[in-house]
Each structure stands twice: as C-alpha cells, then as structure tokens.
C-alpha cells in the first residue's frame, strides 16, 4: 500500500483516478492549504480498521478486574 497526498484542487480534477487508486489498495490524503482534511481509503480497509479498534477496546475493558462495591454511594466511591 502506498500513500499519496494531493491538494484539493487536484483531487477535484482527478477524483475518479484517486478512487481507482483506493480500489487498488492505496491511500490518498487530500489537503487544503497544505493541511490534511480528508482521506480516501479502500472500503474494506476502513471497515476493518474500525472493527479492529472496537474489538481492541472491548478486550481492554474486559481485561479489568471486577471491583466489589458494598452499599457505598457514588460520592463515597469517588472519594
């Protein structure tokens, strides 16, 4: 996978070519005034990254040890 950076004006002029590059697995970052504002990525990659991130977050939460709480109030627990 390669990453290409293009300005917004060029991206508008060559949009279908940039989409074709994403279909081939490349990533295209679009800039406005030399600042990244958007990214074109293959759809499967974008979805997989989101799914992976969610799975990792769930695993991290499940890794916490459960805490036994008596009849304390939330305020008492915070203290």
pLDDT of residue 37: 95
Dump pLDDT digits (tens) for 12-34. 999 999 999 988 889 999 999 99
Is 51 part of any domain? yes
Find the CATH number of the domain harbouring 19: 3.40.1620.10
Mean pLDDT, all residues of the chain: 85
Is 13 part of any domain? yes
Residue 26: give the domain boundaries: 3-66
Is 21 part of any domain? yes
Strands (E), the chain: 3-7, 27-32, 35-40
What is the Cα–Cα distance from 51 to 58, expressed in whole angstroms?
Answer: 11
Label residue 62 by pLDDT band (50, 70, 90): confident
Domain count, the chain: 1
């Amino acid at each position: 996978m390669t990453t290409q950076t293009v300005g917004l004006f060029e991206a508008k002029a060559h949009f279908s070519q940039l989409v074709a590059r994403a279909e081939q697995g490349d990533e295209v970052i679009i800039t406005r005034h030399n600042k990244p504002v958007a990214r074109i990525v293959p759809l499967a990659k974008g979805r997989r990254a989101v799914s992976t991130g969610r799975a990792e977050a769930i695993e991290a939460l499940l890794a916490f040890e459960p805490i036994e709480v008596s009849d304390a109030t939330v305020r008492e627990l915070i203290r």
